[in-house]
Amino acid sequence: MPTKIEISLNKQQLRLLNAERLLASYTISSALNGPGEQMGSGCTPRGRHHIRIAIGGDCATNTVFVGRRQTGEIYSASLALQHPTRDWVLTRILWLTGDESGRNRGGGVVDSLRRYIYIHGTPDSEPMGVPRSHGCIRMRNSDLIELYDQVSAGTQVEITDD
């Protein structure tokens, strides 16, 4: 049975499973605006997804991404001071696409891929276990590297608010 990811927005937890066997569990940070599927809402979309593209497998920890491309920067406190309003996407990106037409897939209104919903790294100074993102799933960089090495494009991702 292939590996699968389950994300609980209520528990702020990501679980990696193989069949029904728990392989790993990580504390995450989802959207400050809560769950929701609408374009421009700043919410984390629920439902069945899968990893469309995995980006940054050979990058150093704290590599900075803008528009899914490496900037050549490595995150640091001094870099953060230079860019105080930047939403930091670090280390790796697992770009999600929705699997449920009309819920999280399907044009400009409810489409996780077009909303650029990722599982990505964030600065160590950002709290985990508390909703703080702009819609993505944020993880500690070391946790994300561990997860990234166990999944690939096509891995199923279920996001719930139970």
For the 3-160 domain, the top CATH level (class) is: mainly beta
Cβ(35)–Cβ(129) below 8 Å: no
At 111-141, the pLDDT tens digits run 999 999 999 999 999 999 999 999 999 999 9
How many helices and strands in the chain, by DSSP H and E? 2, 10
Q: Hey, which bits of the chain come out as E strands?
A: 3-8, 13-18, 21-27, 47-55, 63-66, 69-74, 89-98, 118-122, 137-140, 156-160
- How is the chain split into domains, by residue range? 3-160
CA distances from 47 to 7, 42, 52 (A): 10, 16, 15
Stated pTM of the model: 0.96
Would you state the structure tokens that stand for residue 148, as one six-digit string? 């990234």
The pair of three-digit structure tokens given for residue 34, joined into one six-digit string: 């809560």
pLDDT per residue as tens digits for the range 56-70: 999 999 999 999 999
